[in-house]
Amino acid sequence: MEEIVKIYHPSLETPLVLSPASVQVLVIEAPREFYRLTGMLDAQLGGGEGEFSFLRDEKPISAEREGTIVCDAFHFDLNEKKVINLLVKRLTELSREGTAQYALSKINGEIERFLFEIFSALPFSLTHDEFSAEDLFKGGNVRFEKTYDSLLEKTVCFINAMIALKGCRFFAFVNLKAVLGDEELRELYHHCEMEKVGLLLLESGKLRPLLPEERAIIITEDLCEILENYGEM
């Protein structure tokens, strides 16, 4: 089984193993522990400090660069600033390839004529800089078109975007099983397997039996650790 990342924490006897071949579920039934561990993982995937260790082939990796987390299925947005910044950066890189530079030169010529016509109507001299590709993307408010009709579609679009723009190799979602049904989850799992990315679901309780694709570490109210589906993978 190919491992995307193995995640260790002092409170967990068993490491979290993220692989395209299966979905790692971490059920934490103790509310305070759920809040503590989820908050710490969120902080570390955002570049902050914490007690989680992220390894591949027993060597540390950058969790911030390779992973991302969605803590709220109701409010995550592809058009949030950090994602748009990644989008503009990638588009700017693409603008340096092929005939894009020639096209940008022609655009600047048209802008020059437009500005000359406007500036000439004023009784003073003005000047301006040439527009870069980044200027055009930002000025044109380039953004993701919200064409998704379901949470599943939105989640898949988010995963695709973060793979393409950030090079993400693993994703964590909080309480996703509370808002997606089993068939939708299986579609998501299949997509992640095809894209060769790992998936971690952090759940505050076990809502229903595990799917065959899932294996779970359950932290009970009294902080005991139970493994499910581990012998069947």
Ordered by start, the domain boundaries in the chain are 5-78+150-232, 83-139
Check whether domain 5-78+150-232 has CATH 3.40.50.11940, yes or no: yes
The answer to whether residues 70 and 172 touch, using CB atoms and an 8 Å cutoff, is: yes
CA dist 29 and 203 (Å) reads 8
pTM: 0.90
Among 102, 89, 96, 103, which residue's Cα sits nearest to residue 138?
A: 89
Residue 233, pLDDT score:
47
The answer to whether residues 95 and 101 touch, using CB atoms and an 8 Å cutoff, is: yes
Query: For residue range 129-152, what is the model confidence (pLDDT) as tens digits?
Result: 999 999 999 999 999 998 889 999
CA dist 200 and 170 (Å) reads 8
Cα atoms in the 13 Å half-sphere on the side-chain side of 187: 11
Q: Is the pLDDT of residue 82 over 60?
A: yes
Q: Both tokens of residue 25? A: 């579920």
CA dist 35 and 32 (Å) reads 5
